[in-house]
A and B are shown apart, each in its own frame.
Chain A
């Protein structure tokens, strides 16, 4: 328990962040903190369902962030090699997990705010939840920008953040719905573009550029 408490303290004081000594154990604690933090938020935003639905949404929200984290790792390795980053990949993964854990702490702190501000309308509650997630992400970035230890220079760091956010959107899409099992999400109709009329427009453009005539 002392290890977990001291790790939480180390996460919340970004000026003292250094590479941990027992990296695998610290990684376990960070991923655990992240999973619990995101799950708390997930349980808070679940509405219109019973306890089982709340647990499922809690697991989904934790799954969204952890899936995005895992999927980011191989491209992050390619980025590290491309930019000749000196820090070892193990250190980068360790720090990345620390960021995720800090995000989990921030978002779980936002769960209470959500419960106070929500209106019970799907669109508004959805925007509020996304706003709180965005605020947590920005909070993590600000905390790490103030840290004395910089594992990545600005350009690869920016690309890494963009990569993670893109994968977060994709995994967020994959694990839907969150709010109400009976209602579609806010973006569902807009993002069905891939299978709709716009899809055949894209195919027509590709056929034209590729020198084939469409029947």
Chain B
């Protein structure tokens, strides 16, 4: 009885998980894959739930490489790596925001067609705001990339300059620039949350 119960519980869980994964479009099409997912769901679950590989940004990869090259203590290098990782996450977030704003604009466009004249004005105002937010995010992303490339170039040249004093001065300037980039991210986040709060109020 226990073995039968165990097998029933296992395959019921497998079926439920396979249906859920297929519903989330995380399970590839194909009858063999679906059947295998029901039978071997403990193996399919982590594989289907793992996030897709993120596209790497050459500028940020270059920054990581330059940080690895710097002649500095390991603790300081760890701080720089952490900051670079934060920058990378910030850039990813901005890109995700850009995609979300694009979808919002599409939805507003679709909604506009179903409304009367007065409601269309409200939707148009919202679309303008979303468009402005998109332009701002794109501009910030371009500026951030430019700053990162400048940082990479500066770090590349640090090694050539040679002296210890120049290294410290240059690193202090690099730290200030990274701080500025991260502070700019916080400002953009606050602006975005303002836009979305207003939109929620309109709805």
Q: Which A residues lie at the B interface, using CB under 8 A? A: 22-25, 27-28, 31-32, 66, 69-70, 73-74, 77, 88-91, 93-94, 97
Contact = CB atoms under 8 A, between A and B. Distances in A.
A58 B50 CA distance: 33
Contacts, number: 51
If over half of B's interface residues share one DSSP class (helix, strand or loop), that class is named, otherwise mixed; here it is helix
Contacts of A94: 47
16 contacts: A24-B37, A24-B48, A25-B30, A27-B43, A28-B32, A28-B36, A31-B36, A31-B43, A66-B40, A69-B43, A73-B42, A74-B42, A88-B50, A89-B46, A89-B50, A93-B43
Contacts of A66: 40
Given A73-B42, A73-B43, A23 B36 contact: no
Interface size class of B (residues with CB under 8 A): 10 to 19
Nearest to A23: B47
B33 interface: yes
A93 B40 contact: no
Nearest to B49: A90
B33 A28 contact: yes
A73 B49 CA distance: 15
A69 B42 CA distance: 10
Nearest to A89: B46
Given A24-B27, A25-B28, A25-B33, A31 B47 contact: no
